[in-house]
Amino acid sequence: MKLVQHLVLALGAALFAFSALAAPVEIHGVKLEDTTQVHGTQLQLNGAGTRYKFVVKVYVAGLYLAKKVNTPDEVINQPGPKRLIVTMLRTIDSKELGKLLTRGVEDNTGKAAISKLIPGLIRMGEIFAAQKNLVAGDQFMIDWVPGTGTVITVKDVVQGEPFQEPEFFKALMMIWLGSSPADYKLKEALLGGK
């Protein structure tokens, strides 16, 4: 009888541990699922955190990859689809957000490389400017889909044709993962740190 009780307890503990692993992560009321599908590929949450501007919480971001990594190079060089999802925690002027994203690319990309990115950066700025405002709860996603390119989705709507250059996706990821990231603690969190 004791053996049966121990087995039942062990099984219960294992199921509890498994369900805890599969449970969504919640940060400031934003739920990030443990896995997501991008172009038919299941991705897992590599890391998630909050972007602060001074002491103000601006948004929660989550990075999804096929396998967990902990360096920016591993993120960029990992084959297959990838996703960065951003959920706003406060209202922000979308045109201003577009400018901040462009500045983030400029801060993390060399002058020679930035000249090739200018058409994409202008188009990205126009995408965000067209949104007027993003309010708390609104999301945007940046997906890398091999063979297709970078797909930007805002408020569940895909924004035009994909950006086909792999360099553009890398430049966008460097906003959060580069040597001058938007937020150092968020960079660490996206790379699986605390």
In terms of Cα–Cα distance, which of 145, 170, 147 is closest to 76?
170
- pLDDT (0 to 100) of residue 9: 46
Four-way CATH pick for 25-190: 3.50.70.10, 1.10.3720.10, 3.30.70.120, 3.40.47.10: 3.50.70.10
Nearest by Cα to 53 from 92, 84, 85, 26: 92
- pTM for this structure? 0.86
pLDDT at 6: 43
Q: Tens of pLDDT along 3-25?
A: 545 444 444 444 444 444 456 89
**Distance between CA 58 and CA 183 in Å, rounded?**
11
HSE-CB of 132 using CA atoms within 13 angstroms: 1
Instruction: List pLDDT tens digits, range 74-107.
Output: 999 999 999 999 999 999 998 888 889 999 999 9
Angle at CA 177, nearest 5°, toward 173 and 180?
A: 115
